[in-house]
Structure 1
Amino acid sequence: MVAGAPRVFISHLSGVAVFDPNGDQVGRVRDVVVMLRVGGRPPRVLGLVVEVVSRHRIFLPMTRVTSLESGQVITTGVVNMRRFEQRAAETLVLGELLDRRVRLVENDEEVTVLDVAMSQLTARRDWEIDKVFVRRGKGGALRRRGEARTVEWSAVTGFSVEEHDQGAANLLATFEQLRPADLANVLHHLSAKRRSEVAAALDDDRLADVLEELPDDDQVEILGKLAEERAADVLEAMDPDDAADLLSELPEDDQERLLKLMQPQDAADMRRLMSYEERTAGGLMTTEPIVLRPDASVADALARVRNKDLTPALAAQVYVCRPPDETPTGKYLGVVHFQRLLREPPFTLVGSIVDTDLQPLPPDTPLPGVTSYLATYNMVAAPVVDESGSLLGAVTVDDVLDHLLPDDWREVSVVEMPQELTPASEDGGGRA
Structure 2
Amino acid sequence: MNPGARLSAAIEILDVIEMQRRPAADALKDWGTAHRYAGSKDRAAIGSLVYDSLRVRNSAAHVMGAASARGILLGALRELRAMPLDAVAALCTGEGYAPAPLTDEERGRYADGTLEGAPDHVRGDYPEWLAPSFAAAFGADVVAEGRALARRAPVDLRVNRLKVDRDKAMRSLAHLRPEPTVHARDGLRIAVGEDGRAPALAAEPAYVKGFVEVQDEGSQVAALLSGAKPGMQVLDLCAGSGGKTLALASMMENKGQVFATDLDGRRLMPIYDRLARAGVRNVQVRAPKGRQTALDDLQGRFDVVFVDAPCTGTGTWRRNPDAKWRLRPGALEERIKAQDEILATAVSCVKPGGRLVYATCSVLREENEDRLAKLLAAHPNLLPLDAAHVAREAGLPDLAAFASPHGPGLRLSPLRCGTDGFGIATLMVG
Which TM-score band (shorter chain)?
under 0.3
More helix by share: 2
Q: TM-score, normalised by structure 1?
A: 0.23
More strand by share: 1
Q: TM-score, normalised by structure 2?
A: 0.23
- Choose 1 or 2 for highest CA Rg: 1
